[in-house]
Amino acid sequence: MNRDQKAAVIDEMTTQLQEAQAVYAVDYRGTSVPQAAELRTKLRDADTRFRVVKNTLTERAADKAGADALKQYLEGPTALVFVNGDAAVAAKALADFRRANGLLEFKGGWMGGDVLTPEQIDAIARLPARDVLYGRLVGMVASPITGLASAMGGLIGGLARQLQQMADQGLVGGDAPAPAPAASDVAEGERDEGASRLAGETDFDQED
């Protein structure tokens, strides 16, 4: 590889480091060409690229990209995994490959400017995929809203039925009967009527 080719590789890796959501460094020793090809296919589905480049060129790209933290992992056979999609899906694909083949140990990583330890990458691999998390979140948010809407609908429906029953009985509207007189009004009326009868009887007696 001549100087221009090396410069092109460094520039390309610099861009990949800057654009990646996460970068995982793995020890690829013992991985055969067919195994690497199979892994690349699985990672491609997760919008992730598996790349093996000389450590010296990777170090220069890390310097240009401001990813100095990655340089501590560039000792011995090292492949970089550039994640542009779901970091959990990519980590799970790597972990599944390691479990099935006994190869590809995590060395460390870099995400959002922070260093990732091998244990943290293992923890990321155990996380649900992003679409699963979104589905759970939507379900948690929608559930109380659905319950509230149902309760409000039941309350409004019950009120409408009560009003209709009152209307059917003539208790509301223009045909509603006059309100019954109060007990005090009835008693007062009876006293007035008795007084009138007494007065009439008195006048009659006087006329006789």
Sequence-ordered alpha helix ranges (H) in 126-182: 130-168
Q: Please give the backbone phi and psi of residue 58, each rounded to the nearest 5 degrees, phi first.
A: -65, -40
Pick the CATH number of 3-127 from 3.40.50.300, 3.40.640.10, 3.30.70.1730, 2.30.290.10: 3.30.70.1730
- CA–CA separation, 186 and 105 (whole Å): 98
Tell me the one-letter amino acid at 192: D
More confident residue, 61 or 141: 61
Q: Which residue has the higher pLDDT, 186 or 154?
A: 154
- Return the amino acid letter for 14: T
108 phi, psi to nearest 5 deg: 160, -175
Average pLDDT of the chain to the nearest whole number? 78
Predicted local confidence at residue 159, as pLDDT: 60
The pTM of this model reads 0.63
pLDDT at 16: 95
Instruction: Name, of 44-58, 119-133, 155-169, the range with top average pLDDT.
Output: 44-58
Q: What are phi and psi of 111, to 5 degrees?
A: -145, 120
